A and B are shown apart, each in its own frame.
Chain A
Amino acid sequence: MKKALIKGNNAVVYSALLAGCRNFFGYPITPASEIAEGSALLYPKVGGTFLQAESEIGAINMVYGAASSGVRCMTASSSPGISLKMEGISYLAGAELPCVIVDVSRGGPGLGNIAPEQGDYNQIVKGGGHGNYKLIVLAPNSAQEMCDLTMLAFDLADKYRNPTVVLADGTIGQMMEPVEFPPPITTFPKKEWAVKATLETRENLISSIELDADRLEIHNQKLQKKYAIIEEKEVRYEAYCCDDAEIILCGFGIISRLLQSVVDEMRAEGIAVGMLRPITLFPFPKNIVDYYTLKRNLKFFNVFELNNGQMVDDVKLVVNGRKPVYFYGRMGGNLPTQKEIIHEVMKNMRQS
């Protein structure tokens, strides 16, 4: 077994190339720039194209163009840049174009700062662009998962003809950890819908416009059916020490690493705590939240996020008042300490 000690952002670059991505369009922004820089260095070596676009808008539309031909392509940015991409993301979703978008999120709103925040949950998971669309959203919590979930993102994007987001944050992107890379992908799904500048594909059309209300409704219904299938088949999560837990700590991405440490620490004190980490944010792991809600020994959920409480809404929708759901968030790019998290959990224990 060979491992590389590598930043999460660089793991994205390697795994995209190993996934057969040969087209990267991006624009520099901290803390995602290593992805563009690494791509600029490596894509030409394997016959790929790295192009620094004039803007995030340019970049996402270049992705739209490349994706129209069925090739694997991607872009990467951070929160303010992702906001700019939202127009293009809505078009990609409407035209059902597979592509991978990496968001190494940072502090907001506005220019905010470059520290790790998770304030992009709503714009990515709930749709920052217009229309009735969903993105497939994967939330890594380690450099290894930056690799694995980027690889998976390309597969899911192709499988469902849907833009797929790897939603990380500044910490995951900047952190170095050992990563084991998978072998390169050499066979790819056929894309008969693509416009390939060939006789066979001449009749194909990539578009998101449909003036007729009935036909646009049919298109939207088709999209919703696709999202329902994704919800049924593609849920991923990690449950750590949850089965006998009286308290379940819930968080995605970097915060889950802290929660895991907290679980270990509190378990050592004899407190039955577990951690539930959604890996797919859409599809949200509703069934498992429901499963633990129904467990008699569970007293409450405690959701931790690096934002003002965004994913907690999805937890509450499932729990639906059957158990208390407490929330604690830090903003501005601050991470809570383990002590702070334990203090919060203990406070809620006394309440319930």
Chain B
Amino acid sequence: MTRQHNILQKPSTFFDIFERKGVSEVKSTHYCPGCGHGILHKLIAEAIEDFGIQDKTVLISPVGCSVFAYYYFDTGNIQSAHGRAPAVGTGYKRANPHSIVISYQGDGDLAAIGANEIIQAANRGEAITVFFVNNAIYGMTGGQMAPTTLLNQTTTTTPYGRNKFHEGYPLRMSEIIATLEAPVYVERCMLTDAKNIAKTRNAVRKAIKAQMDQKGFSFVEVLSGCPTGWKMTPQEAKTWITTDLSTYFVPGVYKDDLETREPHEVKQENPPPEDYYHLLNINQTLKEEYVFPHVLKEPFLEEIKIAGFGGQGLLSLGYVIAALAMGHAYEVSWLPSYGPEMRGGTANCSVKISNSRIGSPLVTNPSTLIVMNKPSMKKFENAVINGGIIIYDSGLIDTPPSRQDVTAIGVPATEIADTLGNTKAANILLLGVYARLKKQFLDEQYIQTALPAILESKALRDVNIKAFNYGFTYSENMK
């Protein structure tokens, strides 16, 4: 049964009684005489009925006169913040691809405060339908200027008329949206007479059908009278739409790709929970617990600072040390210095290893400093604890630390790594030096087993292993 046969009947997609109004007048709308909202509501409600989509339709009411659209539509309803309906519709539709989402917005809502939301939703081609009621004024708040207010039009906030030098020009939203690639249908209509209402009816249906057919974003702008805001009679308002409003906002189809656009079906995977770990790649991240008992039972806390230039692999070195220690079932923490200073500048990270719970992850006074450039040596040398260790790249830092109360080990790590095959392995060479010095709590056999799996770069794996072994024996030879 379609509307044509039954034009005098209220569409079933309107409530019979508008109980949500909560006042005595539950059979009439809150709209003023001569307002276009009522007509457009009806055209949409009829389309929803005729398409048989009432249950899956969700209407998003904006802020503006149509803030209470949910009083009338017997569909799913969401009321949203001023201008945000396209974002709300995006979130809803993405989570519920089976739904039909209709965003109903006024000109202040859509073209001023929500201009970004509508442009971005349109540009993403969100599969929603937007009805844009353009009445060139803020109706609900009492007749202030809208982004669509015409030049010289007086409103309560343009009491001397809209001035192009002061407020700029009225925004033509249909034209703007039609320039975007993604929207599939854009039309501007008006509600002045039977002929134009029939055109609007047609546009409303095309726009909703576009969504039903999974063709993407559709947009219908409707020039609508606001006799109260314009301070006119309903008849004068209709005339003004014809003579003034529609000459600046010209009705017509601005984009129609309905025939050529392929439907885009959204498919949502739904893998069983037992597959999650695999799909999320947690398997690779998870490290098997070290099968041997703790190497060191006595309470200890190792605090390491690793510093140098960005790009020397110092954060990775910290990660590898922390991962190896975690493999021993120790408690560990790894904290990078982060942000712009890391991009090309100096980088450092702090690693803590302990066999009891780690408090602060910050390392202020390291027990071990691994350092690969001069500025970092200068910055951190004096922070090292009495009796601590400084491991440094002696090829890059020509002056050894002046401290006498620490063990200082200089290794030309970058140079040696280069001869081994890749300078990038210098960090792992220093790991070898470190591991040899810390064998009281790091187990060589475990490291040899675990290191290949922990190293992130597959390409550098062989040279890294070589570098580790070089470093490990280097410090042994030195001792």
Contacts and interface: CB of A to CB of B under 8 A. Distances in A.
B76 A3 contact: no
Contacts of B269: 44-47
Contacts of B326: 3, 5, 178
Given A57-B84, A64-B91, A206-B79, A176 B70 contact: no
Interface in B183-240: none
A1 B100 CA distance: 46
B87 A170 contact: no
Interface string A188-201: 00000001111101
Contacts of A71: 95-96
A61 B276 contact: no
A177 to B, nearest CB: 5
Contacts of A95: 79
A258 interface: yes
Contact of A197 (B100, B336, B360): B100
Interface stretch (B50-58, B374-382, B388-396): B50-58
Given A31-B339, A46-B271, A49-B94, A61 B331 contact: no
B88 A47 contact: no
Contact of A208 (B79, B331, B364): B79
Contact of B56 (A61, A177, A181, A197): A197
Interface string A204-219: 1111110010010000
Given A30-B339, A261-B360, A197 B76 contact: yes
Interface stretch (A17-25, A132-140, A152-160, A290-298): A17-25
B289 interface: yes
Interface string B411-442: 00000000000000000000000000000000
Nearest to A114: B339
Contact of B116 (A5, A55, A115, A176): A55
Interface string B64-106: 0001001000111111110010011111111110111000000
Given A64-B84, A71-B95, A206 B279 contact: no
B361 interface: yes
B386 interface: no
Interface in B283-308: 285-289
Contact of A5 (B61, B93, B334): B334
A63 B76 CA distance: 17
Given A63-B91, A65-B89, A195 B58 contact: yes
A77 interface: no
A66 B287 contact: no
B46 interface: no
B22 A176 contact: no
Given A68-B58, A114-B338, A171-B361, 10 more contacts: A2-B287, A3-B326, A22-B95, A23-B91, A53-B87, A53-B120, A54-B116, A68-B78, A177-B358, A257-B358
Interface of A: 1-6, 14, 17-18, 22-23, 25, 30-31, 42, 44-47, 49, 51, 53-55, 57-59, 61-69, 71, 73, 87-88, 91, 95, 113-115, 170-171, 174-178, 181, 183-184, 186, 195-199, 201-209, 212, 215, 254, 257-262, 264, 335, 337-339
User: Which 7 pairs show the lowest CB-CB distances between chains A and B?
Assistant: A65-B91, A261-B359, A62-B91, A197-B99, A47-B269, A61-B87, A65-B92
